[in-house]
Structure 1
């Protein structure tokens, strides 16, 4: 029996994407990073709707490719002069001399295979993280995501809605402006054509985001509610202490030389204080949600797949460092566990239901063919 089409909870999509991004942050293996990008692409292709924000997927892919190319160029431009005699020289570029006061910086010089591979690994890692974030933006409804915010964050809902919806609105504006310019002639020069295209796109995207923020403000977002000065100070102290604890705990977890008492205990304490501050701030905000988004077993499965991928990346970085961080002098290897940790991220392509708008478009496209066949 076919399942009913519905939009998955946006928080589930973000948890899945954060898990994949955590895996990418724990590995510099190019095969693993390319597999993560492929997994995100398959899931987005299978479960992307026809909403305007789904068009940002191409922008994030282009951004990731630009990051890889830029990282390689920087390695060649500033890292070519640091070749080791044992490295394999690919291109011997002339080194540009610099003044003596510019210590530690060299321009061009011999480009080695190890330098190029190191830049490629770094660029792929950052590019894979950007692709994972782009997958969440292409799959999750930003308006429904903001509606799912805790009550304590309603006060900054207006600023968040402008920040989150600018890129999706820009993608929709690009499509609308491009279609409008095809209908009329204009300046054929490259600079003039770019100005005629970019100015309306930016203006339209910002105006639509501000209009949405104004509508949210009229419906209660951005209101501070009733609270005394003492309550505000107490809530701010909890949130600030929680933020400091989280920062210290994360730094201690990542730094192996830091005392262990500042790692997990401080991180747990910071998260606890932040939770207390959010709960205290949310009590003074009374908001109702019309038809809240349901959380069913599909959402749990999608979020669990992302969590499993993040845990697999953490285990790989701790117990198989040569697989997660291969040397540039050796061919990177992929173990069965590393492969399974990436492929578990494909679960949303099967588990998640088909988006509602995409299902309706499919029914409209198949309708006329059915009538003709009859």
Structure 2
């Protein structure tokens, strides 16, 4: 294999598996040091491997949303009762009494160190997950992702792609409208600028989404052939069995008091039945591919880096509880395994080639 690789776009499924691996790792811990490391890894990979396409510019919006989530989580802790019995009081605010039917909630009151840290840790975990999902949206081509959706899920795939592309389209529309408004004279008031800016942005983003849906419909996306009543009953039965199996299996895995026979065996049975049902339903949908996306060793490396991060975080959560879930009265600790596991996501930079259109 040559050391110099030609620029190309990595398969979008590989980027999504990598991002979901990082998000899974973030869900296994509340340690702020580990969470900041995972968020930093996602940011570094996006900066190194993003392209100049419109959806790549939407990543900064996800970062802003993550910061807002952290701030709002702490503010809600303060507003909805930030006091914890026995905690170190940082600020004493006048408490607003509420009726008894609100189940003990109260407004304001004493703000303790433990409550603020609890809100900060929870907000960091949710914000890191948002950043990981934003990294997937910035790195993966959403239109190419549509081609990877199973044929039986064409309707869900259409809605998913339109929803995923909405935020990048808003960012691109905002940039175009801002450049156009800078060349025109108009109202200088805040309300006037908002009308001149907001309405064209929303209209342009909606129009582009409708053009995407119309283009897919014109090309016959999701057009299905006929099926016999027996095939429809078999497909529906498999999907129903698969859905029930997955639901019961996941519940049994989360509830340790449930019989173990309802856990992994039922979950495996549900997954197998669902895959079989999707395969049978997909035979009725005829799709052709022009230049199908390749799946090479680069995609495998990107995917494995995210999976490895999630596996290490899962191990740390089960064997190093003090590191995964630090208490609120001491400085969070981090071990070499937890830190190295979070940094495994950086291997995606080495595995993935440069994008075809490099960001400026």
Q: TM-score, normalised by structure 2?
A: 0.95
Task: For 1:210 and 1:141, locate their aligned partners in 2 and report how far apart those are by CA, in whole Å.
Answer: 18
Q: After TM superposition, list the pairs within 5 Å mapping 1:1-374 onto structure 2.
A: 1-80=3-82, 82-84=83-85, 86-358=86-358
* Alpha-carbon distance between aligned partners in 1 of 2:180 and 2:76, rounded to the nearest angstrom: 39
Given that 2:244 and 2:270 are in contact with CA atoms closer than 8 Å, whether structure 1 keeps it comes out as yes
Counting matched residue pairs gives 358
1:295 to partner: Cα distance = 0.6
Structure 1 residue ranges, 4+ long, deviating more than 6 angstroms after superposition: none
* 1:249, distance to aligned residue in structure 2 (A): 1.9
SS of the aligned residue for 1:331 comes to coil
Secondary structure of 1:91's partner? strand
Q: Aligned-pair distance for 1:126?
A: 0.5
Tell me, what secondary structure is at the counterpart of 2:334? Answer: coil
Rounded Cα–Cα distance in structure 2 between residues aligned with 1:123 and 1:148 = 33
Distance in 2 (alpha carbons) for counterparts of 1:318 and 1:296? 33
Kept in 2: contact 1:157–1:221 (CA 8 A): no
Which 10-residue stretch deviates more, 155-164 or 188-197?
Answer: 155-164
SS of match in other structure, 1:357: coil
Change (3 A) 1:61 1:217: same
> Which 10-residue stretch deviates more, 115-124 or 346-355?
346-355
Q: Is the 8 A contact 1:142 1:164 kept in 2?
A: yes
The Cα of 1:209 is off from its aligned counterpart by: 1.2
Moved more, 111-120 or 278-287: 278-287
Quote the Cα distance in structure 1 between the aligned partners of 2:195 and 2:250: 45
Alignment RMSD: 1.5
The two structures have a TM-score, normalised by structure 1, of: 0.92
Q: Deviations over 1:163-203 (max 9, x none)?
A: 22211211111111111111112222223322322221111
Q: Paired residue for 1:370? A: none
Write out per-residue CA displacement over residues 289-332 of structure 1, whole angstroms, 9 at most, x where no aligned residue.
00001011110000001111111111111111221111111211
| Equivalent pair of 1:302/1:348 in contact (CA under 8 Å) | yes
CA distance in 2 between counterparts of 1:149 and 1:103 reads 45
CA drift of 1:224 comes to: 3.0
Q: Distance in 2 between matches of 1:203 and 1:217?
A: 21
Q: 2:323 and 2:164 mapped to 1: Cα distance?
A: 36
CA displacement at 1:155 relative to structure 2: 4.1
| Unmatched tracts of structure 2, length 5 or more | none
Query: What is the CA–CA distance in structure 2 between the aligned matches of 1:100 and 1:254, rounded to whole Å?
Result: 33
Q: Given the superposition, is the C-alpha separation of residues 156 and 78 from structure 1 closer, same or farther in structure 2, using an over 3 Å criterion?
A: closer
In 1: Cα distance, 2:307 partner to 2:271 partner: 18
